[in-house]
Amino acid sequence: MTGVLVIALGKATRIVEVLLKAGKEYVCLMHVHTPVPEQIIRKTLSGFLGKINQIPPKRSAVKRQLRTREIYYLQIIEIQGQDVLFRVGCEAGTYIRTLCIQLGKALGTKAHMQELVRTKVGTCTDKEWHSLHDLKDAWEDNKEGELKKMLLPYERAVEHLPKIWVSDYAVDSLAHGAFLSVPGIVKLESDIEIGNTVAVLSLKNELIGIAMAKMNAEDMMSQKKGIATGETKVFIERGVYPKYKKNE
């Protein structure tokens, strides 16, 4: 399999945990083992949206038990005889190899995944990818302009998450592991619900950390105090913002 692989660098390395859970898009070439009328292929594939059940394949790292994953969209690009090229957007952890087997069954025959290219991880797409070769060249020739195009701020990796922005004075205590209490919030996205994984940002849009919302957006706006988010997975370095001393 080939395609979009997002690499997190240095201190940003842990951000891959967020990307592992982000939605993915693939372009897949599926081969159907016996001839099936095009109309039937189109009809069957268009019905494969929403939640599906899958058992991870033998060669996988996870427990082989039935689990549910969501197909967000599935669009046929081209059908040539028994070869079907399609684009699929799905929840993290969806096995496309298994999906092809399932599609084959639904078509009343068998099918297998012939080729797979990943075209999206979260908001990172094949429209902005670079090859290892280009990276090596840009680095070795010290092409700063090129490098600045290839090395993106790691905040891109949380672009798909709901966000909360906090006051400059809340940053350092968050960086030390404090929970976010409501008075530290400056702005927030209106659809945040309890249990959501949120990105906590500074007013300069720097990523402070990732946390789970303990309140919904409405309460974060209206409450005068209380814990807005739980334990923060901290990314910002301590000391970048000053410690806030009350009554200074």
Beta bridge pairs of residue 212: 197
CB of 137 to other proteins, least distance (A): 10
Phi, psi of 43 (to 5 degrees): -65, -45
Task: State the binding string over 218-247 for other proteins (x if CB under 8 A, else -).
Answer: --xx--------------x---xxx-----
Shortest CA distance to 18 belongs to which of 192, 175, 220, 155? 155
Q: Which residues, in sequence order, are bridge partners of residue 120?
A: 25, 125
The site map against other proteins for 36-75 (x = CB under 8 A) is ------------------------------------xx-x
How many residues at the interface with other proteins, by CB under 8 A? 80
Closest CB to other proteins among residues 178, 182: 182
Residues 6+ apart with CB under 8 A from 23: 72, 89, 90, 91, 92, 120, 122, 160
Q: Which is nearer to other proteins, 82 or 129 (CB)?
A: 129
CA-CA distances (angstroms) from residue 94 to 26, 36, 55, 56, 147? 11, 25, 10, 9, 33
Coil, helix or strand at residue 26: strand
CA–CA gap between residue 107 and residue 100 (Å, rounded): 10
Beta carbon of residue 190, minimum distance to other proteins (angstroms, whole number): 5
Each residue 122-161 as x (binds other proteins by CB under 8 A) or -, in order, gives x-xxx-xxxxx--xx--xx---x--xx-xxxxxxxx--xx
- Cβ proximity to other proteins, 111 vs 118, nearer residue: 118
**Rounded-to-integer distance, Cα 179 and Cα 226, Å:** 10
Q: How far is the CB of 34 from other proteins (least distance, A)?
A: 29
Contacts for 47 with CB less than 8 Å, ≥ 6 apart: 106
- Shortest separation between residue 109's beta carbon and other proteins, angstroms: 26
Could you say whether residue 189 binds other proteins (CB under 8 A)?
yes
The DSSP call for residue 39 is H
Q: Considering beta carbons, is residue 35 or 248 the nearer one to other proteins?
A: 248
Our CB check for other proteins shows the closer of 11 and 43 to be 11
Select from 29-37, 76-84, 103-111, 188-196 the region that touches other proteins (CB under 8 A): 188-196
CA 54 – CA 65 distance, rounded (Å):
8
The helix or strand, by DSSP H or E, that contains position 70, with its residue range, turns out to be strand 67-80
Site for other proteins in 70-129 (CB under 8 A): 72-73, 75, 87, 89, 92, 118, 121-122, 124-126, 128-129
Residues 190-209 that bind other proteins (CB under 8 A): 190-191, 202-207
